Structure 1
């Protein structure tokens, strides 16, 4: 069931399997087809070459057979007994004819080899009794073969005739018997049955239906394994593979034929074998391809299912083989790192929200009705002026401005100019309320005075410089410097004093920020957290830990083009 779901739902598997199948199946099928075609062509070529070689060998055998018969005939016609017998005048009496016959029989018996031998005197009609004994009645004295043999003199003629008695063709070698002065004495005829010719030919054992036949110059069949086809017209057939070669005698040609089915049967076997090999190979490739593609797509498919769970809020790591070092493994590792990052980000966000709520609660807990503060401070200022205590009146006025800026109806944004003015008011109050004096230096880039910043980011730092810096040096020696400038896309505030510097127990691990008790609910750490809550971890409060003397704090705030 899982496999069925996988095969239908995993579109990546289907696409990869289809593309890889096309890339593999088509070349394999084409390779199988080309292999079959190559084998078929090579088999036909080898068969053709085999037939031609066999036919050439058999033609060589037949030509040698013809030559051996000619050599045997040369020995016969060179016989002195035969020539002396043919030089004698034709017999006139019966006794002379009988003597001629007995002499000729003795000579023939003496000369006869493996085949039937006939000797026909020049004037056969003058040997009536001898003529009756001749069975070579296929070629009579009136045959033009004898005249042609006499004209050729020292070369014989091969002829073929049909033997009614044996119902088979017979081959006859006819040659003139000449005296030393080339006077024609008679004809020598050697009669050979066609099975002798067929016996001389050897057929390949790999072809059961291999057939030999001989045809004359007019394409008439003169020798065939089936005697009934004698003298038929030879017509090439398309259902047989045929080849032929010219013989040296008689203008005859030797033809070899094998049925196409004998060759196509082997080709059909090759075809079936090739088909089975290709189909089996493709089936095996399909199985291996499925396993290979699944090994790649199944982890991705599982990862997609896990992503859907993550989308629903289930932030659990994706389980995969830790030993996998390929791209899929790296993808899974990166995916798990992303989930871990999301988990950490959610934790951080929750913590930051909790801190933000805590800061808001702290701010609310310390808020007092501003009208009550302002009315009370105005009363103190009026009484101080009435008592001619101008210093007290000034302190009260600055404190009122300080509180008014801090509360400001809950508004969180201000300008660089107002933020610096607020910090300066605090420093004036510190100078007025204590007996200790210190110097304050303020240097501000005029171009950033109207830029927006979140409020109450300088006063806690300045307060820290007074409390832990200039109060720790001799009277009149304390110095505080406030610098505000622009650095690329950020606003940078630098507050530094010439106090004893940061102590080891006040150091924090993150950005060198000193950890201390918040002043009126707003401390250094609160300023740092507020900046990071509003913007990112790239902004906040940073302590210059490299400073050998004094205390130097850098506040980085992003630049906004808006003004108030």
Structure 2
């Protein structure tokens, strides 16, 4: 029976444990599902339209940054308040230290007056003598000596001495300060004749008083009393640099020694400040809150209070709080507006671009001219612009290819014209050659032979590329013919690097340039014209330079030649045509460049890729 009850209890405990674990796992699973649902990716994918996705994303970012901004604001506000409190406490400590030191120096200053030998001597004479001329003279000398001490500091309002006969001598700016001498004497006697500090009814003055005792032979006989009146406002201005919104209060026990803007009964609340653990507190004075810090003097029974209007601290914090709330509201409004406009700005250009792509798919390359809108300055705008640039490139390539095909056809047509009945032309030239030889006409024979060789090289070579040696044969035959025409006025030079004659170049590349040199150089001058051909090779190209010492070509004409606006003379194959043929065969790796020499002449530079025949 007992065993059966134990088994039941065990089963019951195990059931409770299993149920607790299932509940815990179910709770954890629910939290996991909730966190997954809040994941930005899942939230973003809940929407099918771009504008809704953007809105959800910006809302999440706004919420996250808003919470971060609030936390940072609270943190910075607490730091700001602590810094304000620390600054006030540090300023008080510094000001109290400086003021303490100044008052301590003033106590030493009063001691130096009462122990001054001259003042001791004058007071000793006044104590012993009755009223006489000598008494008047001694008092005058004593006042002069007191004036010297009174002028040593700007904030010393007056220096007064009461002699043993109760006569008062005054030196300084004014003596209109009410001082209760009976009370002052009692305070001095209580201090054993030492220096005491007390206030005045005027409030802006602070009084330092002490007994004057005879120092000679240490008799310590009573000679009188010294009273130094200080203008506390001048003292604070000279020693402390307080801001206009700060107030300073000095108390001695429960007595107010100095206050610049508070009434004595208002200072009663300041007396509690020294009891605060942090040394500062916020008090309500005359329905206005003040931040108050207290610091006791290190040398005297005085306490210094630094009073700052709390509204200066709290108003700045309130302004920051209002700015923060306004900022959050502005962010919410701007975020909603920008998210909607952004979705529209993104989806609309994509739809337009899709429609244009469908037209291109159907073969419509001639579309409306693209005008980039000011708001399309993002990647989608770049995509649209690049798409239209691609279309323009395709159209340009189509037009360029069509133009180049026309140039090729024209060149082939001219070549076909020159190939009409070539055998008849060869036979005729051979007949002229042999008839000239038979009649001993060497010049005619040589010219006919050179012309025949030149025509065979031009017409019989069907390939677009020929060796440089074959091209030079055409040039030499042409020069032979032209020398019979121009005689000594034509000089021809040929310079080539060894092995260059085996390289391949387009047919009729050098000969038309030499012909242009004769047409534009030799025929424009009466002197001897020197035409030179220089062939050099580089690492991956061959360079052919044709120079003449003719009158040269101006820059405007050179520009027109490059643009194909100058019609060629002679054979009809101009520099523009040669340049186009080179570009058709080799692309941008080769070309023709025209340069004007320093003073006279022209240089035509042909650059071709390095190709062996």
Instruction: Place the TM-score, normalised by the shorter chain, in its bin.
Output: 0.3 to 0.5
More helix per residue: 2
Structure 1 length-normalised TM: 0.46
Larger RCO (CA under 8 A, 6+ residues apart): 1
Structure 2 length-normalised TM: 0.43
Rg: which structure is higher?
Answer: 1
